Structure 1
Amino acid sequence: MVAVNGNTPKITLYTNHGCPYAHRAHITIKELGLPYEEVIIHLSKPRDPWYLDINPIITESIIVSQFLADAYPSHLLPPTGSEESALKRARIKFFTDTWNTKVGSYWFKIATQNSEEEKEKLAKEMVSVVEKEIDPLLKDAAPFFGGSSKLTLAKAITAPFIIRIIAFVKRAVLPKSIADGLNGLPNFSKWAAGVVKQDSVTYIWDEDRIVEQSVKKFAQVKAQAKA
């Protein structure tokens, strides 16, 4: 969550660098070039009373990112006020909604399966959904969404998950067939490859630590499912 005080941006971001949802806000703030303070929240232990007493300006990662992009106009999101801008904003919203509702949860489902057969089945489904629902929306990426030469809110919302999928496949946490399938999609593969090259995406990214923490989380979920 984020708190903003006064007319001059003074942003406090309550975050955890291992959380893909919080990662969205980090990308947005970095792209906007806004100064901010961060308070690290430890997700593995109960929230302290002081945290529960905070009255933030806004919570939820997508809403935080949208708010910041609207409050500080930039290349991330066209300003309101014209039909052309409204159409571009709608396309970005459609893209992020499609990713979140149809693709976004696959990686976690796959990683928490005990059966390799079930992992491969879900991996195949995931690639098929990306091919059908996402790849066509990226046909005009140049190299970013909608023909933009700069990163847009579409990537700020989805990049934390794309970079994790790439890392988890590389570390054999997810099946290699995911990479094989996604690399065969002409639009998505080119667009996704740009994720790992953006400073705004990678500046808080610690692959070793995040993979290690995620593997522990996946193991806990699988153990709970067996109990």
Structure 2
Amino acid sequence: MASSKLTLYRAEICPYAQRAAIALKESGADYNEVLIDLQNKPDWYTVKVNPEGKVPALDVNGTTVAESLVVIELVNDLFPEKNLLPKDPIKKAQARFVIEFFNNKIWTNVFKHAGGQLSKDDFIKESEAGFTRLNELLLEQSKTGPYFLGEQYSLADVAVSPFLARIFALTSLFGGEFQFKAIKDNERLAQFVHGVLSRPSFRESYAGDEAFIDILKNKFNYHL
């Protein structure tokens, strides 16, 4: 599919859109990128690109596909030689499972806390439980990292890393060089955190901690 014309529509501040940017960088694809201001979306975007008005959206030869997990799996299908999903059906299912697990058991706590539904202490407690279980899932795949599957980088890492970084952006506000105990005490989990967040494709597409902190403060009036 090297001859395909690809255009990615994304917003730099959006973790879902960052998933698509990371996948495309990992694929080595030649693609165009159009940045969308989510606070002032151009009219043409919903008319010509994505009627839902969300990012990311990936245009492939004039056909647009949206939703981040759909987009990154499409990238994998367009560039199968990059092996962003394992060929083994069980491993593939486990990679998909950990993405859902992270979203439902760890990431969801961020906005519950920012929105006042979880206290800081309860946020930490719920997150510690989620990270402890994540460590078990990592060990089920491989005793060593640095990625979910071990040495193989995959869509599991692509999908989780934007949200992992933003969790740490939030906890940077806790002071005292806060660190989750589950990460501090479990080498496999610590390897995973370092591995996915030091990956060049992640670093090149991340808007930075301050961008997410600004969202927390401006959208949720977040303060400790």
TM-score (norm 2): 0.81
Instruction: For structure 1, list consecutive stretches of 5 or more residues without a partner in the other structure.
Output: 1-5, 80-84
1:64: which partner in 2?
71
1:188 aligns with 2:189: yes
Identity of aligned residues (%): 28
Residue identity opposite 2:43 in structure 1: P
2:158: which partner in 1?
156
**2:43 pairs with 49, 52, 64, which one?**
49
C-alpha RMSD over aligned residues: 2.6
Residue identity opposite 2:79 in structure 1: Y
Superposed, 1:204-219 pairs within 5 Å as 204-207=205-208, 209-219=210-220
CA distance 1:174–1:92, shift in 2 (3 Å) = farther
CA distance 1:96–1:208, shift in 2 (3 Å) = closer
Contact kept in structure 2, 1:123 and 1:178, CA below 8 Å: no
Instruction: For structure 2, list consecutive stretches of 5 or more residues without a partner in the other structure.
Output: 50-62
Contact kept in structure 2, 1:143 and 1:191, CA below 8 Å: yes
Instruction: State the shift of 1:94 in Å.
Output: 1.4
CA distance 1:213–1:36, shift in 2 (3 Å) = farther
**CA–CA distance in 1 between the matches of 2:213 and 2:123?**
22
Using the TM superposition, name which of 89-98 and 100-109 deviates more.
Answer: 100-109
Contact kept in structure 1, 2:170 and 2:213, CA below 8 Å: no
TM-score (norm 1): 0.80
**CA–CA distance in 1 between the matches of 2:79 and 2:205?**
22
CA distance 1:114–1:88, shift in 2 (3 Å) = closer
1:27: which partner in 2?
22
Instruction: State the shift of 1:146 in Å.
Output: 1.9
